[in-house]
Homo-oligomer: A and B are copies of this chain.
Amino acid sequence: MVETVALRWGHRPRDFRVTTHVVLTARAFGASSVILSDTQDATLRETVERLSSAWGGRFSLKMGIPWRNAVEEWRRSGGIIVHLTMYGENIETSKVIERIRSSRRKIMILVGSQKVPGAFFDLADFNVAIGTQPHSEIAALAVFLDRFYRGKQLQRRFSKARIRVKPSRRGKNLITIEAGTATSARKSL
């Protein structure tokens, strides 16, 4: 699987819930890490670590790196930059996702908030719009990754998980894994 990381720009304390959704979406949809640029948020770190430790997988959350440094470091190590913006090339009507795939390079996805630095548009190798209507960076990130990985990320097993869901038509089935053995439990609703 091609490596993807998301860089979340413009986080403020009042965005806690939205940024949490960004981070968990990145993790669930196959990104290996999220960089929260230019700021720190201890509560966010704690929330994500607790969740990752229970649900498994290799996922890291980095914080406080200035966005320019993160971008430059990414380029130096051979990666490309994709900026998600409603002003970019429409993922549905252009061939932008095929062009991104054919680069065969690891991808940093810039996920902004209301108004991002103008420089994002120029430094990005691809400006990608998930439709041309205003909506949500969480939705944009999810759909980009879902299409980029062709849905395969949704069947990935997360290593070293302590809990897993067993899909079912009704109700909640949680599997608790302890020292190599799994017990299935139907959670009360």
Contact = CB atoms under 8 A, between A and B. Distances in A.
A81 interface: no
A21 B167 contact: no
A127 B172 CA distance: 10
A167 B24 contact: no
Contacts of A88: 167-169
Interface residues of A, number: 62
A173 interface: yes
Interface stretch (A1-9, A63-71, A151-159, A177-185): A151-159
B17 A135 contact: no
A93 interface: yes
Contact of A173 (B15, B87, B154): B87
Given A18-B17, A188-B118, A27 B146 contact: no
Name the residue in A122, A133, A158, A170 with the highest tally of chain B Cβ atoms < 10 Å from its Cβ: A133
Interface stretch (A32-40, A102-110, A137-145): A137-145
Contact of A167 (B18, B25, B29, B90): B90
